[in-house]
Each structure stands twice: as structure tokens, then as C-alpha cells.
Structure 1
Amino acid sequence: MSGISHLARAGQGLLAGGLIGTLGGLIGLGGAEFRLPVLVGLFRLDTLEAIIFNKAMSLVVVAVALFARLGTIPVGEMLEHAGVVLNLLAGSLIGAWWAAGHAMTMARRWLDRVVMVLLVGLALLLLSEAWLGLGDAAAALIAEGWLRLGLGLLAGFGIGMVAALLGVAGGELLIPTIVLLYGLDIKLAGSLSLAVSLPTMIAGFTRYTQSDAFTVLGRERPLFGAMAAGSILGAVLGGLMLGWVPTQWLTTLLGVILLISAIKTFQHSH
């Protein structure tokens, strides 16, 4: 690929990363679920390459986000709820490792189908959070005990699978789970979700190093750097613009966009 092509892709990556980061910042997400269709549809990466690329990008964004939130939610407050993090991590680490291993050996058409179904599911979840008030619970649905511990393990396993198969942090799944299952404040849940996401993504990322598609990170290094910079700047900008746009309407719009882009990008697998 020529230097001009690399420069053009880097410019597109900076713009795409900035837009996705801004929108994600406005609703409190990293934006990885929106980045995946762009990587496949616009930048023409193979599905598995796009997942690995997205996973590496999500690691950078989540690490920055976790550090940035320490001023609002200090480490001490998070440590008080370490049991929640460990409960979910016990399932998510296994789920991420298992799903990443299967993604590397799965036929391309089936991987596309799985990705499309998961993205459509996330789109519907966004719409549900916007209009049904998921994530607004004030008390835990289930009292502390073995049942909640078991449900936490199962939820973590499922979230770890989704995170590995899409290359996302999983905040759109983790935050409602922490709020509803454990009855915690949504701001605290946001920080705890990042504490679960980071080790989970590292587990999936480590598994993907065994894949030939991992070379995409070296081949697309300029695109990665530009998109990472755009994503971080966009997330900061989105956070500063928080409150300018009604969250319900923005979440609805993004849910519809994700739904359409997921089907349009991955429907060729049918």
C-alpha cells in the first residue's frame, strides 16, 4: 500500500474515530460497537482482523477512560465493591478466552452471522435502555447470596463472549447488569464496568495473538494510531458536550444506526 494510501486511510481513521468517540462519549460508551461495521464496511478489513483491531482499540480507550474517571469515582470507592468486579470477572475471563478461541477457527460466513446477530442485539438493547429505562433501578433485583453469585458468573461469561467476538468493552451490557443485579448507582457502575472490561479484553486479546489475522495491527499501524487518537479526543469532546443533546433521543438514533449498519455490513453472510 502506498504512502498516500496510508495517509488517506489515516485521515479517514482520525475522522471516523473522532465521530464515533464523540457520539460514544455523549452516551457514556466507548463506541466499539459502532467502530466494527466501519472497519469492515469502510476500511475493508476481514471480519476477524476487524475484531482484533477493534479489541486493541478498545483496550486503549478503556484504559484512558478508567484513568479519567478516577477523579469522579476514586479507587477507594471502587474497592468497596470489589466483590462485584470479581464475581463478573470470574465468568467474563472464561467467556472471553473461550469465544476468542472459537472465533479464530470459525468459518467466515458463520463468524459474520454471529457478529451481525450480536450487533443487532446490542442495537435493540440501546433502544430498550432509551425507552424502557433499563439501568435506572434503585435496588438490586436479587438479594445477596448464592443465586446472585451464580447469575453474576453466567452474566459475566456471556458478556465476556460478546466482548471477545465483537472486540468491544461490553459497557452497554455490564452497566445495566451491575445496576440491575447489584443495585448500584449508574455512575459507580460505569467505573466498575471498566474495571471488569480491561482484564476481560486483555484475556481475549492475548488469545487472539495466536491468530494469523493478528498481523493486521502491524499492517494497519497508521490507521490504528489515527483512529485511536480520534477516538480519545472524540470521547473527551463528547463528555464535555454531555447535556447538550437529550440522551434518550441520541441513544435512539445511535441504536437505529447500529441496527441498520450491522445488517447492511454483515448480511452478505446469508
Structure 2
Amino acid sequence: MTASPCSALWWGAAIGLLGGLIGLGGAEFRLPVLLGLFALAAHPAVRMNLLMSLVTLAAAAVARFGLASFPDLAAHLPEIAALTVFAMAAAWFGAGLLARIDAHRLTRLIAGLLAAIGLLLLVEAVAGEALHLGAAPGGWWRPVAGAIAGVGIGLVSSLLGVAGGELIIPTLIFGFGLDIRTAGTASLIISLPAVAVGVARHARAGGYRDRVALLGIGAPMAAGSVLGAMAGAALLPFVPAGALKLLLGAILLASSVKLWRKGAAVAAG
């Protein structure tokens, strides 16, 4: 650990601000900081990131459900239910799988997933509505597609320590035709139980026994993430989302390259 609780608080706030501006929890940006600046090993960094994702999600849910009107999700319940159930199952499996992946392979896997998310953000920023399928509600394929997507999202969530909103929201918008506000609310409903399952599996396996890391990094960074995410949501109307996604996509790609090189160094050393 190479940084103070104060530094963790400020980094958490900055990352939460970025996440709030684009409608994410910021976990995908928090993970490179935990690995690089705070010098956590890959496995503890993923577990810590997942725990902070749960805290941030809970705060976002309270803010959204308490202050905003709840959208009508009735027409989309089949795919939302399938996404939720299969994401939870995959998150439980993925949390157990994490312990069986060595540090070198996990670092490479994280680098690849970050690169994929970065590319997704870039594609979203450039293509926008061009990717929207405009699918009408109903149809037997929707819960099936939701189940398949849920498996992938649950695995990524547990292996990367993220809430999965960066995958859930595009899936709901471009695959099932939800508008952005409805997709954001549905993403919280899907993410919360999936992340909670992953955290519970890690806790059961003793993944959160390091009290020094929890109090010195986890607690202040989670607090900063919550405050930053709220500030980012307040600033959202004044910031071009497309330009921000381009910037953050580029940051994630750069982070993935750095982590890939780190994995190569671990293998060589």
C-alpha cells in the first residue's frame, strides 16, 4: 500500500465523478488505480473493487429510487428477470473461479476486459443510436437473450470487480430497445444482487480479512466514490456525454496496455 487514506478519498471522489458523468459506478476506472497507484495485487484489488462497487450501487439506488420517478418496467420484466438471475449465478461461480486463476493470467484477463470496455465506450460515443435495434417488447427470444447476456455480465462483474453497468446499459439499450433512463434504473436492479452475491462469496472465502487495506483504502475510497458519483450526476446536464465517453474509452485502453505489460513483467520475473 503506497498511498494514504486521504489520497484514497480524493481518488475515489475523482473516479466517482467520472463514473457519475457517464452513468457508471466508476469501478472500471478504480481498478487500474488500485493495481497501479495503491500497488494491490490483482486478486485483492478485484475483491476490494467489488466491495466498493456494492457501496456505490447502494448509494446510487437510494438516490435514484428516492428522488427520481420510477420508470414502467412491466414490458421488459422477462429479460430483466433473466438477466438478474443468471448474472447472480455467474457472479457466484466467477467469484470462486477468481481464486483459481494465477496473478499473471488474472492481470492479462483484467487488461483484456478493460480494453473491451474501453472499445465499447468508444463505439457508443461514435455510433450512438446507429446501434439501436429498436426491438419491440415481447417475444420468446428476449428472456433467452437476457439469460445469455446475464452469464457474461455476471462473470465480468466478479472477475473484474465491477458492477457491470458498462455492459448492462448498452445491452438493454441496443439489444432490448430500452431508453437510457429506464436502462439505468434496470441496471441498478440487475447489478445490486449480482454484486452482492460476488461480495458474499469472497467474504465467505475470507477475502476481506485485511483490515488495514479495508480501513486505509477501501473505506475512504468508497466514501469518495459515493460523493463523486452524486456530484457527477448533478453535473451531467452540462457535460457532453459523447466527448466524455471518447476520453474515458481512451483512458481504459491505455490502462489495459499498461496492465498487459505488467502481466508480461510478472511472467518474465
Mark yes or no: TM-score above 0.5: yes
1:241 counterpart SS class: helix
1:146 aligns with 2:140: yes
Question: Aligned partners of 1:268, 1:134: CA distance in 2, in Å?
Answer: 37
Cα pair distance change 1:139/1:57, threshold 3 Å: same
Of 242, 245, 257, the match for 1:248: 242
1:195 aligns with 2:193: no
Question: Aligned partners of 1:73, 1:136: CA distance in 2, in Å?
Answer: 27
1:205 aligns with 2:205: no
Question: Aligned partners of 2:238, 2:180: CA distance in 1, in Å?
Answer: 20
Give the equivalent residue in structure 1 for 2:107: 112
| One-letter amino acid matched to 2:87 | S
Counterparts of 1:1-270 in structure 2, within 5 Å, are 9-70=4-65, 71-74=67-70, 77-78=72-73, 81-133=76-128, 137=132, 139-140=134-135, 144-216=138-210, 219-270=213-264
Question: Aligned partners of 2:126, 2:235: CA distance in 1, in Å?
Answer: 22
Cα pair distance change 1:19/1:241, threshold 3 Å: same
Give CA deviations for 1:59-104 in whole Å, capped at 9, x if unaligned: 0000110111113232x73466433321101221121111111111
Question: Aligned partners of 2:130, 2:228: CA distance in 1, in Å?
Answer: 24
Question: Aligned partners of 1:91, 1:135: CA distance in 2, in Å?
Answer: 28
Contact 1:73–1:191 (CA<8 Å) still a contact in 2? no
| One-letter amino acid matched to 2:93 | W
Cα pair distance change 1:266/1:173, threshold 3 Å: same
Q: Aligned pairs, how many?
A: 263
- Structure 1 residue 20 displacement after superposition: 0.6
Contact 2:163–2:192 (CA<8 Å) still a contact in 1? yes
- Structure 1 residue 151 displacement after superposition: 1.2
Question: Aligned partners of 1:37, 1:252: CA distance in 2, in Å?
Answer: 18
Question: Aligned partners of 2:219, 2:129: CA distance in 1, in Å?
Answer: 35
Contact 1:104–1:208 (CA<8 Å) still a contact in 2? no
Moved more, 179-188 or 49-58: 179-188
Unaligned runs of 5+ in 1: none
Question: Aligned partners of 1:167, 1:199: CA distance in 2, in Å?
Answer: 14
1:126 counterpart SS class: helix
Give the equivalent residue in structure 1 for 2:267: none
| One-letter amino acid matched to 2:61 | L
1:184 counterpart SS class: coil
Identity rate of aligned residues, in percent? 42
Cα pair distance change 1:138/1:67, threshold 3 Å: farther
Give CA deviations for 1:219-262 in whole Å, capped at 9, x if unaligned: 43132221111111111111111132221111101110111012
Cα pair distance change 1:247/1:143, threshold 3 Å: closer
Contact 2:15–2:30 (CA<8 Å) still a contact in 1? yes
Give CA deviations for 1:139-170 in whole Å, capped at 9, x if unaligned: 22x76333222111000000000001111111
- Structure 1 residue 195 displacement after superposition: 0.4
| One-letter amino acid matched to 1:227 | M
1:209 counterpart SS class: helix
Question: Aligned partners of 1:268, 1:41: CA distance in 2, in Å?
Answer: 10
Cα pair distance change 1:257/1:67, threshold 3 Å: same
Contact 1:73–1:188 (CA<8 Å) still a contact in 2? no
